[in-house]
Structure 1
C-alpha cells in the first residue's frame, strides 16, 4: 500500500514503525513487570524504614520509561498507566499505604494488575450496589461507529461540533478501555472490581464530577498522595475549615502536570501549558464552588437539574478552550488514524484482513 499516504508517510513505513513500536512496547512492559516483582519482594522482606529507599527509584523510573514509546495507542495508554498511576501507587506503597499495601501481603498475581491498571478491589458486595440504568455496550459501539462516519465529513462541519464529538468519543473509549482492562485484571486476580466511571453526564457540580464520577482511580490516587498531605500542612495556616482549598488546588495542579506528560507522549510536541491551564482553572473553579457551598445555605442553592447542565456546559466549553487544542497540535487525530492504518496493514500482511479494510475516516 505504498500509494496510501498520510502526511507523506506510506502505510508500509507506518507498519514498519508499528512493528518497532510493538517490540519497544514488549520491552517496556517486561521491564515494568520485572520492577513490580522486585517491589513486591522488597515489600515483604525489607523493613519499612528502608522501603522508601528501595522502591522510590522504581517510581522515578516509571515516570520516564513510557518515553520509550511514541504512539498514541501504546505510548499514551502506557504513560497513563505507568508514569502516572503505577508510579503514584508505588509512592504510597513505599510509605506503607495505598492499594498495594496489605496485611498479609497481596499475592503477586494481584499486586501487578493493581499496580499497573486503573482498577480497585470492590469493597461493597455486588448485590448491595445500586443498579442505575447505564448506557449499554451496544449503544456505545453504535455511537462510536456514527462518530467515525461524522469524522469522514469533518471538513464540512463546524470545528466546535467535531470537538463535541471528541468529548463523547473520549468518554466512551476510556470507559470501554478501562472496562476491558478491568475484565482482564479480574480474570487474573479473581476479585470483583469497582467501575472507573459513574455516569459523569449526571454530575450536578464540579465536586461531583471530578470527585465521584469521572475516572475514579485518579482522584483515589491523588487524594492520599497530594490532597491529604497538603490539607494537613495547610490546616495550621488556614484552619481546618478552609484547609481543603489549597489541597484541592494542589491536587489539580499535579493532575495538570501529569496530563502534560501524557500528552507529550502523544506527539513529542513542546508543551504549551494549555492542558495545565485547564486543570488549574478547574482547581480554582472547584475551590470557589467549595467556598460558596460553605457560605451559602442549602436552600439558596440551584436545583440539581440546573447545576448539572451548568456543570457539563462548563466542562465541555473549557475543554474546547484548553483541553483539546494540545491534542490537535500534537496531531492526535491524524496520528491515531495513521497508527490504525499501520495496524491494519500489519494484519493484512499476515492475511488476517482484506485490503478493502484499509481506509481511514480522517482522509
Structure 2
C-alpha cells in the first residue's frame, strides 16, 4: 500500500510541480546566492522540464512548457541570484503562486501573516492580480514597440532580466554602450527563439528541431537593429517622420509575413497529440 502511494505521488505531475517549488523555497533559500544556489536548483529545473510530458494534449503541453518549463524556470534562475519576483516573496504561499502562475502581488498589499487564523481562499487570492501579457499589439508602430512593450510582456520582462540586462552589463565595458545594447538584443532574441523551439519540441512529441522558429526571432532582432539605425539616420537628416498609421501597417505586415514563413511550416509538420510514452523521474 505504501509503495502504491509513492507511485501515485511520483506519477502525479502536480505533486512533482509543487514539491519542486517547495524544494526551492525551503531548501535553496539557505544556499548562498549565485552559482552555488543555481546548481542546487538543478533538480527543480529537471522536474520542470519533464512536467509537460505528463499531458496528452499537444496544446496543453505547449501552454505548460511556456508557463512552467520556461517562465517558472527563469523566475527561479533569477531567484538563484536574489533577483526577480520570487526574491520579493516573504512567505511560502506567495512564492508558490508567483512561481507557477502569471500573477503578481497587488501594490500596497500588506504581507500575508500565516500565523493568524487561516484566511479564506478568496481573501488570499485577492492579494494577487494577473500579469498583463498583451498590451494591444495591433497598435504597434515599430518592431521595438511590438516586441518590447506590447507582445507577450511576460516573456519580454523575464528575458530582459535574465538575458538582456546581464549581457549588456557584461559587454558594455568591453565593446561600448551602443554595441553592448545591440549584442544584448540579438542574444535575447536568440534565447527567445531557442525557448520557442523547446515549446515546439513538446508540442511535436520530441521531433528534431528545424530551427526555423529560432531564425524567425533572429530576423526580428536584426530588423529591430536596422529599424533603430534608420530612425537615427532620419533624425540626423531631418527627414519627415513616417505617419503612425503607415508605421503600424508596415510593422504588423512584416511580423505577420515572417511569422507565416517561419512559424506555420513547423506547426503543420508537428501536429501530434499522444506521444506514446511517459516521463521518468
Question: TM-score scaled to structure 1, two decimals?
Answer: 0.63
> How is 1:26-65 mapped onto 2 (pairs within 5 angstroms)?
27-48=12-33, 50-65=36-51
Whether the 8 Å CA contact 1:72–1:265 is kept in 2: the answer is yes
The corresponding residue for 1:192 is 129
Asked if residue 110 in structure 1 is aligned to residue 94 in structure 2, the reply is yes
Residue aligning to 1:315: 255
CA contact (8 A) 2:38 2:80 kept: yes
1:303 aligns with 2:240: no
Question: Does structure 1 residue 286 correspond to structure 2 residue 271?
Answer: no
Secondary structure of 1:192's aligned partner:
strand
SS at match of 1:242: helix
Deviation at 1:75, TM superposition (A): 1.4
Flag structure 1 segments of 5+ consecutive residues without an equivalent: 1-22, 126-183, 337-363
1:217 aligned onto 2:158:
no
1:148 aligns to what? none
* Conserved 8 A contact 2:140-2:248: yes
Task: State the shift of 1:191 in Å.
Answer: 2.4
Structure 2 regions of 5+ residues with no counterpart? 1-7, 110-120, 275-281
Write out per-residue CA displacement over residues 2-40 of structure 1, whole angstroms, 9 at most, x where no aligned residue.
xxxxxxxxxxxxxxxxxxxxx999722220111111111
Report if the CA contact (8 A) 1:198-1:214 is conserved.
yes
Match of 1:158 in 2: none
Please give the secondary structure, in 1, of the residue aligned with 2:178: coil
**Distance in 1, Cα, partners of 2:10 & 2:265:** 27
How far apart in 2 are the matches of 1:227 and 1:186? Answer: 37
Q: How far does residue 87 in structure 1 lie from its aligned partner after superposition?
A: 0.7
- List 4+ stretches of structure 1 deviating above 6 A: 23-26, 184-187
Give the Cα–Cα distance (whole angstroms) in 2 for the partners of residues 123 and 79 of structure 1: 29
Q: Distance in 1 between matches of 2:122 and 2:23?
A: 20
Distance, in Å, in 1 between the alignment partners of 2:104 and 2:233 is 35
Deviations 1:255-285 (A, max 9, x none): 1111111111112232211111111111111
Question: Does the CA-based 8 Å contact 2:215-2:262 persist in structure 1?
Answer: yes
Deviations 1:309-348, CA, capped at 9 Å, x for gaps: 100001111111001111111126xx59xxxxxxxxxxxx
Q: TM-score, normalised by structure 2?
A: 0.80
Alpha-carbon contact 1:120-1:217 (below 8 Å) kept: no
Query: Structure 2 CA distance, aligned partners of 1:248 and 1:109?
Result: 35
Alignment CA distance shift 1:331-1:48 (3 Å): closer
Tell me the residue number matched to 2:187.
250
SS of the residue corresponding to residue 209 of structure 1 reads helix
| 1:3-82 equivalences in 2 (<5 Å) | 27-48=12-33, 50-82=36-68
**Distance in 2 between residues matched to 1:57 and 1:98, nearest whole Å:** 20
SS in 1 for 2:177: coil
The secondary structure found in structure 1 opposite 2:83 is: coil
Q: Secondary structure, in 3 states, of the residue corresponding to 1:237?
A: helix
State how many pairs are aligned.
252
Post-superposition shift, 1:114?
1.2
Given that 1:75 and 1:266 are in contact with CA atoms closer than 8 Å, whether structure 2 keeps it comes out as: yes
Compared with structure 1, are the counterparts of its residues 202 and 42 closer, same or farther at alpha carbon in structure 2 (3 Å cutoff)?
Answer: same
The secondary structure found in structure 1 opposite 2:103 is coil
